[in-house]
């Protein structure tokens, strides 16, 4: 991992390879390790950047803005520091919402959009995440993630591994994610982040009403057919709302496709990169006309 100091805060990231740039954005409570099995394969042909978002992993966890817009700006700033003007942006879960926000805020910097089990495409989300967004959940989580319990669970996990018993991928990854939150600053950042996008009724931020703006942006949608965190039906909705988008459903995978099927994921992504032309959009390219026509139609 390398690090950069941006706006006074340390941002850790992994960067490998050369060629056209691909940025990989992880989900909530995760980190760049989500892409560990993907980065080396992808870096054979591309410059790959996988950051730990602020509030996650090794990056700083300041008291600040953890909205999708702030995260998108943070990704832009890191790419500027690294000298990448235009990228293919790939987002998993919360990272998908950030990727869409990045494409919306900085279209001139976005060549392609890849959404993997993405948030921001419908209200439905796992009951666990809805519960964690509720008032007072931070106090419950603090008890659950007490260091004694964390140590005990780690020992149990190690014993299970030695016995050759394969745990459920979703529960394993969720535990890995939440066990990183034993630090009070990480817990605070987690709750700021989750409450920016989820409440007890479900996801509270949706990009559905703006997806038509991606008509000229090559878009790939990847989902696990057994996703129990965000339902696969959201993939079909996004596919219908984004003209010309490509949909790939990994029927045997759950929410963590890059972890569960990294080789196939890279093959699908590489094919998408090889068979599409990067978008070249200015910030106002066609958007004024699209927005005006949509507003006029709605008024009528």
Q: Which of 103, 87, 98, 91 is nearest to 20 (CA)?
A: 87
- Torsion angle in degrees (nearest 10) through CA of 118, 166, 37, 263: -80
Q: Are residues 241 and 179 in the same domain?
A: no
What is the C-alpha separation between 30 and 173, in angstroms, rounded?
9
Which residue among the candidates 227, 234, 239, 245 is catalytic per the annotation? 227
Predicted pLDDT at 169:
53
What is the C-alpha separation between 217 and 86, in angstroms, rounded?
13
Q: Are residues 104 and 138 in the same domain?
A: no
- Domain around 160: 127-199
Given a cut of 70, is residue 79 above it in pLDDT? Answer: yes
Flag whether 228 is in a domain: yes
Predicted pLDDT at 132:
86
Q: What is the DSSP string of 245-295?
A: -EEEEETT--S-HHHHSHHHHHHHHHHHHHHSPPP---TTTTHHHHHHHHH
Predicted pLDDT at 42:
98
Q: Report the pLDDT averaged over residues 221-243.
A: 96
Lookup: tokens for 284: 């106002």
Given a cut of 60, is residue 170 above it in pLDDT? Answer: no
Q: Are residues 115 and 230 in the same domain?
A: yes
Flag whether 298 is in a domain: no
The residue assigned the tokens 């990448």 is 84
Given a cut of 50, is residue 239 above it in pLDDT? Answer: yes
Q: Is 227 a catalytic residue?
A: yes
249: how many CB neighbours lie within 10 A of its CB? 16
For the chain, the domain total comes to 2
Q: Are residues 104 and 148 in the same domain?
A: no
Q: Report the pLDDT averaged over residues 50-61.
A: 95
| CATH number for the domain harbouring residue 106 | 3.40.50.1820
Given a cut of 70, is residue 203 above it in pLDDT? Answer: yes
- Lowest-pLDDT range, 9-13, 64-68, 294-298? 294-298
Question: Which residue, 184, 199, 214, sits at the end of a domain?
Answer: 199
Lookup: tokens for 159: 């014993």
156 alpha-carbon distance from chain centroid: 29
Q: Are residues 195 and 214 in the same domain?
A: no
Q: Are residues 155 and 263 in the same domain?
A: no
Q: Which of 240, 244, 178, 231 is nearest to 203 (CA)?
A: 231
Q: Are residues 109 and 228 in the same domain?
A: yes
Flag whether 297 is in a domain: no
The residue assigned the tokens 């998108």 is 72
pLDDT band at 177 (very low <50, low <70, confident <90, very high): low
Q: List C-alpha distances in Å: 186 to 56, 59, 138.
A: 7, 10, 11
Flag whether 144 is in a domain: yes
Flag whether 299 is in a domain: no
Flag whether 300 is in a domain: no
Lookup: tokens for 210: 């703006």
Question: The pTM is what?
Answer: 0.87
Q: Are residues 167 and 271 in the same domain?
A: no
Q: Are residues 117 and 132 in the same domain?
A: no
Flag whether 276 is in a domain: yes
SS3 of the chain: helix, strand, coil, percent, to 5: 50, 15, 35
Q: Are residues 109 and 223 in the same domain?
A: yes
Lookup: tokens for 34: 């989500």
Q: Are residues 8 and 34 in the same domain?
A: yes
Predicted pLDDT at 173:
59
pLDDT band at 287 (very low <50, low <70, confident <90, very high): low
Give per-residue pLDDT as tens, 252-261: 999 999 999 9
Which residue among the candidates 32, 59, 73, 93 is catalytic per the annotation? 93
Predicted pLDDT at 286:
62
Question: Which residue, 199, 233, 248, sits at the end of a domain?
Answer: 199
Q: Are residues 132 and 114 in the same domain?
A: no
- Lowest-pLDDT range, 108-122, 152-166, 171-185, 212-226? 152-166
Predicted pLDDT at 10:
97
Q: Is 93 a catalytic residue?
A: yes
Predicted pLDDT at 160:
40
77 alpha-carbon distance from chain centroid: 17
Q: Which of 32, 231, 21, 26 is nearest to 111 (CA)?
A: 21
Flag whether 85 is in a domain: yes
Q: Is 65 a catalytic residue?
A: no
Question: Which residue, 167, 199, 231, sits at the end of a domain?
Answer: 199
Predicted pLDDT at 293:
58
């Amino acid at each position: 991992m390398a690090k950069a100091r941006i706006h006074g805060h340390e941002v850790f990231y992994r960067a490998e390879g050369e060629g056209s740039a691909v940025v990989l954005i992880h989900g909530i409570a995760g980190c760049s390790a989500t892409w560990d099995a993907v980065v080396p394969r992808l870096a054979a042909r591309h410059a790959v950047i996988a950051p730990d978002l602020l509030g996650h992993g090794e990056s700083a966890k300041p008291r600040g803005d953890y909205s999708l817009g702030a995260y998108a700006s943070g990704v832009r700033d890191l790419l500027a520091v690294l000298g990448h003007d235009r990228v293919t942006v790939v987002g998993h879960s919360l990272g998908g919402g950030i990727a869409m926000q990045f494409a919306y805020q900085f279209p001139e910097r976005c060549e392609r959009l890849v959404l993997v089990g993405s948030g921001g495409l419908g209200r439905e989300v796992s009951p666990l995440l809805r519960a964690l967004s509720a008032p007072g959940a931070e106090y419950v989580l603090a008890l659950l993630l007490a260091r004694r319990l964390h140590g005990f669970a780690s020992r149990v996990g190690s014993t299970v591994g030695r016995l050759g018993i394969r745990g459920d991928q979703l529960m394993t990854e969720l535990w890995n994610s939440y066990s990183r939150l034993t630090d009070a600053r990480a817990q605070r950042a987690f709750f700021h982040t989750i409450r920016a996008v989820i409440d007890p009724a479900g996801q509270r931020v949706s990009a559905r009403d703006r997806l038509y703006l991606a008509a000229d942006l090559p878009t790939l949608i990847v989902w696990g057919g057994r996703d129990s965190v965000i339902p696969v039906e959201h993939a079909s909705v996004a596919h219908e709302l984004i003209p010309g988008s490509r949909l790939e459903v990994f029927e045997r995978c759950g929410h963590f496709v890059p972890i569960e099927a990294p080789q196939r994921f890279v093959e699908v992504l590489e094919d998408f990169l090889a068979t599409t032309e990067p978008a070249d959009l200015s910030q106002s390219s066609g958007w004024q006309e699209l927005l005006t026509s949509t507003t006029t139609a709605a008024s009528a």
